[in-house]
């Protein structure tokens, strides 16, 4: 197959602080080949592609493009060398026209004043679109008015217009409907025939099976095998992604399931139906963008309830976040920096924001009392900070997360909604959060936990439900799941 190697990445290493993101990773793609890059969340796919695109610099290793050394200084240099990326989120200038987007940065000009040559611009755009078999998109349309699928085509046309040799597609089907996906696969086949090397990143195994010639698995920042897609069964690919067995990070006390405290009936687009009991940790597994966060936010009143019913203990019907706190529900946001914590505020202010009641007479906050409350939690959770009046932004990720968690403990809520509670934090803090979750369940609190990291769900949950393609399946006892079956279910591989 690889009669001429187009792209070669050898021994790539990337280190962020104390974390090794990539170690000795190799990737080769031949001209006219589609190579699927697969791996779990956090396996290092994005980092590897950022290095390819010139957005990050590798700490070790070398890249070659058509045999010549390739070391882009920045994303522009990468584009000029013929490496184009199509990201999950569209990156068109929405107010500009299709043709302006296609030639953005390489506008054809004429005359000494470098006046933009709109006629040639239109020709270039029309030609690029026609090559993709989409002459139906008019060069003069405003990009923002197009459908997501058409916008994606414009991005691909832009990649063609700059003469791309390597095209990276990152989860390209996540915003597309069924028919558009089929059209995209057709297009990828045609791009392949024209000699472009395609790197295709996806969580969805059936897509990988369908569209790729070869696949490469990344796991924990290392190569974890690869091969010819047609010769490999889906289960084998998944097994390579999962790799090692569950480790012993997870304490597990005896949880006694008590009375129901949170009841969902056909809530939201996920049509989520489940019952959460006291003394129980219920996990929701799924891949990024599966709609889990939206469901949690709906329960907590941050998003409107479009369909279905939510009942918390005796309180039925929709509610605001303020009501939810009063109902004894607390939420930990997955967006720690943007929502979970007010970065400019102190540890103490962040910790007590939802529950200033004990800090003074009604309406007042006495700094001395606020301080002693905060110091107590900081000691209890071993939050490392110079002082509880220190801005929370100056703390490490793990300590920040413990502050956000301490807010729920300070509020003494009965239902804890945790969205990716261990995202981007160190192992020690993770272990501490697992312990806390176990402790809470033993104290007859109810925990609803969303995570993309399956070992963690299997380690701490009593029951797990899987969300796939926007639908929530029925919760099943943790004994009935393993990493493999979770990933199969979440990536929709079972359907194929």
Partner 1 sequence: MERALAVDGSVGRPRVVASRRLLDETGVLIGLAVVLAIFGALIGPQFFRAANLELVARQTVIVCVAALGMTMVIVSGGIDLSVGSVVALSTVVTAVLLQHQGPAVAALGALAAGGVCGLVNGVLVTQLRVVPFIVTLGTMLLVRGAAKGLADERRIEAPVTWLNSLLRTVRDGSGLLLPTGIWITIVLAILVALTLRYTRFGRHLFAIGSSERTARLCGVRINRAKIVVYTIAGAFAALAGVMEFSKLSVGDPTVSIGLELDVIAAVIIGGGSLAGGKGSVVGTLAGAAIMAVIQIGCSQQGLSNWVQQIVTGSIIVGAVALDRLRS
Write out the residues near partner 1 by the rule CB under 8 A: 300, 302, 320-326, 331, 333, 335, 338-345, 349-350, 353-354, 356, 360, 363-367, 375, 378-379, 383-387, 389-390, 394-396, 407
What H or E segment, with its residue span, contains residue 223?
A: strand 222-228
What's the min distance (Å) between Cβ of 106 and partner 1? 36
What's the min distance (Å) between Cβ of 326 and partner 1? 8
DSSP 255-278: ----SEEEEEEEETTTTEEEEEET
What's the min distance (Å) between Cβ of 416 and partner 1? 14
Q: In DSSP terms, which residues pair with 264 in a beta bridge?
A: 274, 310
Cα 6 from Cα 352, distance rounded (Å)? 56
DSSP 343: T
What's the min distance (Å) between Cβ of 379 and partner 1? 6
What H or E segment, with its residue span, contains residue 115?
A: strand 115-116
Q: Return the number of the residue (420 or 483) whose C-beta is nearest partner 1.
A: 420
What's the min distance (Å) between Cβ of 314 and partner 1? 19
What's the min distance (Å) between Cβ of 346 and partner 1? 9
Q: Return the number of the residue (71 or 375) whose C-beta is nearest partner 1.
A: 375
Other beta carbons less than 10 A from residue 17's beta carbon:
8
What separation in angstroms does the CA of 424 have from each of 170, 267, 398?
A: 21, 29, 8
Q: Return the number of the residue (97 or 370) whose C-beta is nearest partner 1.
A: 370
Q: Return the number of the residue (95 or 322) whose C-beta is nearest partner 1.
A: 322
Question: For residue 375, which of 346, 401, 355 has the smallest C-alpha distance?
Answer: 346
Cα 103 from Cα 160, distance rounded (Å)? 10
Torsion angle defined by CA atoms of residues 173, 179, 185 and 191, in that order, rounded to the nearest 10 degrees: -100
> Which residue's structure tokens are 């953005």?
104
Burial class (CB in 10 A: 0-12, 13-18, 19+), 431: middle
Q: Return the number of the residue (158 or 410) whose C-beta is nearest partner 1.
A: 410
Q: Return the number of the residue (91 or 320) whose C-beta is nearest partner 1.
A: 320
Strands of the sheet containing 222-228, edge to edge, are 83-86, 166-170, 197-201, 34-38, 214-219, 222-228
What's the min distance (Å) between Cβ of 154 and partner 1? 31
Q: Return the number of the residue (195 or 367) whose C-beta is nearest partner 1.
A: 367
Q: Return the number of the residue (134 or 355) whose C-beta is nearest partner 1.
A: 355
What's the min distance (Å) between Cβ of 366 and partner 1? 7
What's the min distance (Å) between Cβ of 394 and partner 1? 5
Other beta carbons less than 10 A from residue 108's beta carbon:
14
Q: Return the number of the residue (55 or 375) whose C-beta is nearest partner 1.
A: 375
What's the min distance (Å) between Cβ of 325 and partner 1? 4
Pairing of strands 83-86, 315-316: unpaired
DSSP 152-184: HHHHHHHHHHTT-SEEEEESTTTT--HHHHHHH
Q: Return the number of the residue (141 or 303) whose C-beta is nearest partner 1.
A: 303
What separation in angstroms does the CA of 12 have from each of 44, 51, 64, 434?
A: 11, 9, 12, 33
Instruction: Please report which residue ranges of 53-108 form alpha helices under DSSP H.
Output: 75-81, 98-102
What's the min distance (Å) between Cβ of 299 and partner 1? 13
Other beta carbons less than 10 A from residue 311's beta carbon:
16
Q: Return the number of the residue (162 or 392) whose C-beta is nearest partner 1.
A: 392
Burial class (CB in 10 A: 0-12, 13-18, 19+), 325: buried
What's the min distance (Å) between Cβ of 341 and partner 1? 6
> Which residue's structure tokens are 């890249």?
63
SS3 8: strand
Q: Return the number of the residue (110 or 384) whose C-beta is nearest partner 1.
A: 384
Instruction: Please report which residue ranges of 272-316 form alpha helices under DSSP H.
Output: 292-300
Q: Return the number of the residue (24 or 426) whose C-beta is nearest partner 1.
A: 426
Q: In DSSP terms, which residues pair with 6 in a beta bridge?
A: none
Burial class (CB in 10 A: 0-12, 13-18, 19+), 89: exposed
What's the min distance (Å) between Cβ of 449 and partner 1? 17
């Amino acid at each position: 197959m690889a009669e001429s190697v187009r792209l070669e990445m050898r021994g790539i290493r990337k280190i962020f602080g104390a974390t090794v993101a990539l170690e000795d990773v190799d990737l080769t793609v031949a001209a006219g080949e589609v190579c699927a890059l697969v791996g779990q969340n956090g396996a290092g796919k994005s980092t590897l592609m950022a290095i390819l695109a010139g957005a990050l610099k590798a700490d070790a290793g070398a890249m070659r493009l058509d045999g010549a050394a390739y070391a882009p200084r920045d994303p522009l240099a990468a584009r000029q060398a013929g490496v184009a990326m199509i990201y999950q989120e569209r990156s068109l200038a929405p107010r500009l026209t299709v043709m302006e987007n296609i030639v953005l940065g390489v506008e054809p000009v004429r005359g000494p004043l470098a006046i933009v040559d709109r006629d040639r611009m239109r020709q270039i755009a029309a030609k690029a679109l026609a090559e993709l078999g989409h002459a139906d998109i008019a060069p003069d349309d405003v990009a923002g008015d197009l459908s997501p699928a058409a916008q994606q085509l414009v991005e691909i046309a832009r990649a063609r217009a700059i003469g791309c040799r390597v095209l990276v597609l990152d989860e390209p089907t996540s915003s597309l409907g069924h028919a558009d996906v089929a059209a995209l696969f057709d297009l990828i086949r045609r791009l392949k025939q024209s000699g472009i090397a395609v790197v295709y990143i996806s969580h969805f195994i059936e897509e990988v099976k369908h569209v790729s010639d070869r696949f490469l698995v990344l796991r924990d920042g290392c190569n974890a095998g690869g091969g010819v897609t047609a010769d490999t069964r889906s289960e084998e690919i998944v097994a390579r992604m999962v790799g090692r067995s569950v480790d012993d990070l997870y304490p597990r006390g005896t949880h006694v399931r008590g009375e129901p405290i949170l009841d969902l009936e056909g809530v939201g687009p996920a049509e989520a139906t489940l019952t959460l009991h006291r003394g129980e940790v219920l996990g929701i597994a799924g891949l990024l963008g599966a709609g889990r966060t939206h469901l949690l936010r709906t329960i907590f009143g941050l998003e409107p309830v479009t369909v279905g019913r939510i009942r918390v203990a005796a309180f039925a019907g929709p509610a605001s976040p303020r009501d939810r706190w009063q109902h004894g529900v607390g939420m930990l946001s997955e967006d720690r920096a943007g929502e979970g914590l007010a970065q400019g505020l102190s540890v103490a202010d962040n910790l007590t924001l939802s529950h200033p009641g004990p800090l003074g007479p009604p309406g007042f906050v006495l700094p001395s009392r606020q301080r002693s409350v905060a110091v107590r939690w900081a000691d209890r959770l071993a939050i490392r900070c110079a002082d509880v009046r220190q801005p929370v932004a100056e703390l490490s990720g793990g300590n920040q997360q413990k502050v956000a968690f301490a807010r729920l403990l300070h509020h003494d809520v009965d239902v804890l909604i945790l969205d990716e509670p261990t995202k981007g934090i160190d192992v020690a803090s993770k272990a501490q959060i697992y312990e806390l979750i176990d402790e809470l369940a033993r104290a007859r609190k109810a925990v609803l936990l969303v995570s993309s990291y399956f070992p963690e769900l299997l380690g701490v949950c009593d029951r797990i439900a899987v969300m796939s393609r926007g639908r929530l399946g029925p919760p099943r006892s943790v004994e009935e799941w393993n990493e493999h079956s979770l990933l199969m279910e979440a990536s929709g591989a079972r359907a194929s």
